[in-house]
Structures are given as C-alpha cells and as structure tokens.
Amino acid sequence: MENNLKTAFQKNPLSGEITIPPDKSITHRALILSALVKSEIEVKNISLGEDCLRTLEIFKKLGINYRFLSKRNLIVNSSKGLIIPKENTVFDCGNSGTAARLLCGLFSSLEGINCTFIGDESLSKRPMKRIIEPLGLMGAEIKSNDNKLPLIIKGKKLNPVEYNSPNASAQVKSSILLAGLNTKGITRVNEPYLSRNHSEIMLEYLGADIKTGKDEKGYFCEIKKSELTPKNIEISGDISSCAFFMVMGAIVENSKITIKNVGINQTRAGIIDVFKQAQINFEIKNKRKISNEETADITVEYTPDIKPFKINGAQIPRLIDEIPVLAILAVCAKGTSIISDAFDLRNKESDRIKTIVDALKSLDVDVKELEDGFIIKGKDKIDKSAVLETHLDHRLAMSYFVLSLINKKEMIIKDFDCINTSFPEFMELAKDLGYGK
Ligand code: S3P
C-alpha cells in the first residue's frame, strides 16, 4: 500500500506548546530492566513507537505480564522471573537495532535459551559484528548470516571481559553490560567518547553494582552480576523526536514553539550545543530529574539569521540521530556547515550520508558527500518540487517534512508512515502547532 505524503509550504507561523512523547532509547531499557526485577513495578510514559513495542512483545514470549493503566502507563509483572521457552523461539525485532543488539547481549547470558533474532529488510542489512565480537569474547554462542541477522543464540554462562569498544556506541556498550549483569566477575567496557548512558543511569537507579568514570583508557563502565531492586520508572520525552520541532521553530517564519518534558541528558543533548553555535533563539526552562534523567522544557523561536556550524569528534555520539534534521538546519543557515567523523551514519536505518546527500541534491542544494559526513552550503530559498525516497527510514521522513515547510513547491515524501517506527504522534503534534493552516 502506498503511503506517500504530499507536502505544502507552511504559510503561517507554527506556535504553541506540545509535550513530546517518551524517549525510545530509555523505553527499551525500561522494558528490558523491568522484566528483570522479579517483582511488579509501574513503568510510566512508554514510547508507543513500533520499535519499543517489539521489545515488549519479545518479553511477553518470556512470560512477562503487562497491564496498561492508561495509554502509556503500564504495570510490568516479572515476579516469576523470565520463563525460558523449551523450544527454539523466534524474536522479531522489526526495524529496531536497539532491540536486536541489546537483547542479543542479555539473551546470550541466559542459560538454556535457544532463540533466533530476525528483523525487517533494513535491520537485516545492518552490521551485527560489533556485538557478536565482544559477546564472543565472553564465550557467547551466536551464529549469524555473515555477521548480519538472523542471529541464532544458545544462551549460556558467560565469562567477564574488558572490552575496548573501537567506537562510541551505546548499543554495543549496553549489549555487553546486559550480558555482564548476569555474569560473575567484573565486565568492563571502555569507549573513546561517551555514548548515551541511559543503561548505566537506569541500572544504577535499580541498584545494580555498576561503576562509571574516565581514565587513561577513555570512558569506562564496570558491572558485576547483580539482582535489581524493584522501583517504578518514569520516562522523559525524547530529544531526538523533539529535534524535528526545534528545527521547525527555528526555520518557519515567525514561529515560536515550546516543547515540554524533554530529556536533556548531556550524552544526548548535542543538538543544544549546535543551536548555540548556530545562534538560534531558544531557551531551556524548568530543569528537573525524572528517574535520574535530566529533563526540561525548551522554547525555540524563529531565527532569520542562522549561523553555519561544524559538528565532529566527541559531539557525534551526542547527536547521532539528530544529524538528518540538523542537515535541514544547515540548508537554512547563512554559510557552509560541515558534519564529519560520522561514518556510522552509513550503518543506520539507511545509509544516512548517501540518502541525505541524494535528497538535498534533488532540491538543488549545494552539498558535498564525505566518507564520514557532508558539507552543506546554506540556500536562501528552496523552490523546487521533488519526490524524496525515505528508504523506510523514519528520521529521514520527518526531516524531509521539516524541510517541506519552507519549500515553496510541493514535494512527495515516499512511504511516510515509516515514521511510526519512533514517532506515531508526529503529524498530530505538527497540526496542534498550526501545520497546514
Ligand atoms: C541507541 C544508540 C545509538 C542510536 C540508536 C539508539 C540506543 O546507536 O543511533 O538510535 O538506544 O542505544 P549507537 O550508539 O550504537 O551508535
């Protein structure tokens, strides 16, 4: 079925206040760890994106019981512990790299489990060597299709390792930590830059024996086999979803948008530093902590004179998922912006370097592809119709939508419903702010 979106120039400002839906990364962790507390707890404000629901469905197959109290709040009952199925069980991770990689770590350490991880077309192309290798060092038994899905796992007792992660990847780090949570001894991960630390924060919140810090080996995280303490968990709003509205506020003439309840954890908030660099009018208010995650409200105002910006090095893991929409911001800047050191963009839901460069070229934007990023020259006006392929990549679809608001001509965004992967409420919120009026 075709689900293409026909876009139109946004004539009027976008304005008002929205509450951003819950964080996808934190929801995955909350669903995973709530399944391990051997008790009944409440998990408040879960992401209803398809990715997170995959994780929930997988734990249902392991005997975890869920009772929704309202749309996003649920009681998770894991009192009986995980019930390991007798037969080989297939777990379908859909589009979710986080589900596949994190659960592969945990399940490798579950004695007696025999399971196969599968996923959709996009996930089946994504590299899994990054987790197969370190988990293999721990003794995990994982068969793969040339380091891609399907992954066939035989769970067993593992040995602790110290792993020097070549890249700052939260999925790799979390996969090893979840295996380490169930492994005697000290499991340690070192990473060159600090990737998002939601796993560490939630593990500590639930009483796991975990230590984090920085030394001559880089950022480290050590975990010992631990029993978790049952505690209710609440999830902050997703800064990666918020990013689309932040950029809309900055580029659509005379707009002013307030986005409430946004997680601004330092390891995720790289976009805020880019907004400072680009001298965008914005304000952060009402800072508070929710289940130990820094949270706030953000107001962004239209900024006619957006400065070009540079993003590289340690900043990259702090905004890796926001790069598609920051590329749109770069199109609106007065000057040339450079994004580099981001090779891993090629391994996301699509090859985001190639897909973004192709899309911008089709709109006559002056863009140069780099091996590890791109150089974008800002353009005064976008006035070109185009058909943009999303490659079923949710973040591309929403980024192209943001760009369409300032395009004088109509665009078609293909397979737009792939946004349901992370953000089913996206269009509803855009309409609440006056989109289409
Ligand atoms: C995620 C980590 C990031 C990010 C992904 C979600 C996570 O990947 O791109 O969307 O929840 O751990 P890497 O840190 O592995 O690059």
Same domain, 267 and 202: no
Residues lower than pLDDT 70 in the chain:
1-2
Q: Does the N-terminal peptide bond of residue 150 adopt cis geometry, omega within 30 degrees of 0?
A: yes
| The residue to which tokens 């649920």 are assigned | 74
CA distance 330 to 49: 28
* CA nearest ligand 1 atom 13, residue: 169
Q: How far is the CA of 268 from the centre of ligand 1 (A)?
A: 10
The domain boundary, picked from 193, 223, 253, lies at: 223
CA distance 47 to 423: 8
Q: How far is the CA of 100 from the centre of ligand 1 (A)?
A: 11
Taking residue 175's Cβ as centre, other Cβ atoms within 10 Å add up to 29
Whether 356 is covered by a domain: the verdict is yes
Supply φ then ψ for residue 386, to 5 degrees: -160, 155
Whether 437 is covered by a domain: the verdict is no
Same domain, 28 and 17: no
CA distance 105 to 131: 8
- Domain total in the chain: 2
Ligand 1 pocket check for 174: Cβ under 6 Å: yes
Beta strands per DSSP E along 270-409:
282-290, 293-301, 310-311, 336-339, 366-370, 373-377, 386-388
Q: How far is the CA of 383 from the centre of ligand 1 (A)?
A: 34
* Predicted local confidence at residue 378, as pLDDT: 98
**C-beta separation of 237 from 19 below 8 A:** yes
Supply φ then ψ for residue 366, to 5 degrees: -80, 100
b/e per residue, 209-232, with b = 16+ CB within 10 A? ebebeeeeeebbbbbbbbebebbe
Whether 230 is covered by a domain: the verdict is no
What is 381-418 written as a DSSP string?
-B---EEE--TT-HHHHHHHHHHHTTBSS-EEETTGGG
Which tokens in the block code for residue 327? 């590329």
Same domain, 81 and 185: yes
Residues with a known catalytic role: 321
Q: Is the pTM of this model over 0.95?
A: yes
Query: What's the CATH code of the domain at 173?
Result: 3.65.10.10
* Predicted local confidence at residue 2, as pLDDT: 65
The domain boundary, picked from 185, 201, 223, lies at: 223
CA distance 139 to 157: 8
Same domain, 367 and 256: yes
Same domain, 353 and 213: no
Ligand 1 pocket check for 321: Cβ under 6 Å: yes
At residue 67, what is the residue type? R
SS3 335: coil
Which tokens in the block code for residue 125? 């192309």
User: Is residue 231 left, alpha or beta, with left meaning phi > 0 and alpha meaning psi from -120 to 50?
Assistant: beta
Ligand 1 pocket check for 51: Cβ under 6 Å: no
Same domain, 209 and 344: no
* CA nearest ligand 1 atom 9, residue: 321
Using most ligand atoms within 8 A of CB, pick from 96, 130, 169, 319 the residue to mutate for ligand 1.
169
> Given strand 65-68, what is the order of strands in its sheet?
65-68, 74-77, 40-44, 233-234
Ligand 1 pocket check for 320: Cβ under 6 Å: yes
Q: Measured from the CA of 320, which atom of ligand 1 is nearest? A: 9
Whether 390 is covered by a domain: the verdict is yes
Q: How far is the CA of 189 from the centre of ligand 1 (A)?
A: 16
Whether 231 is covered by a domain: the verdict is no
* CA nearest ligand 1 atom 10, residue: 321
* CA nearest ligand 1 atom 11, residue: 25
Structural domain span for residue 306: 5-21+237-432
Ligand 1 pocket check for 344: Cβ under 6 Å: yes
Helix count and strand count (H, E) for the chain? 13, 23
Which tokens in the block code for residue 76? 């998770």
CA distance 437 to 435: 6
Same domain, 285 and 407: yes
Whether 357 is covered by a domain: the verdict is yes
Same domain, 35 and 15: no
pLDDT in tens, 373-384: 999 999 999 999
**C-beta separation of 312 from 384 below 8 A:** no
* DSSP-assigned letter for residue 348: S
Q: Measured from the CA of 174, which atom of ligand 1 is nearest? A: 12
Strand partners, 142: 153
pLDDT in tens, 7-61: 999 999 999 999 999 999 999 999 999 999 999 999 999 999 999 999 999 999 9
Same domain, 417 and 291: yes
SS3 181: coil
CA distance 55 to 32: 8
Same domain, 266 and 392: yes
Taking residue 40's Cβ as centre, other Cβ atoms within 10 Å add up to 15
| The residue to which tokens 């009952």 are assigned | 77
The domain boundary, picked from 168, 200, 223, lies at: 223
Same domain, 65 and 162: yes
Same domain, 122 and 190: yes
Supply φ then ψ for residue 290, to 5 degrees: -120, 120
Whether 228 is covered by a domain: the verdict is no
Whether 53 is covered by a domain: the verdict is yes
How far is Cα of residue 432 from the mean position of the Cα atoms in its chain? 24
Q: How far is the CA of 350 from the centre of ligand 1 (A)?
A: 14
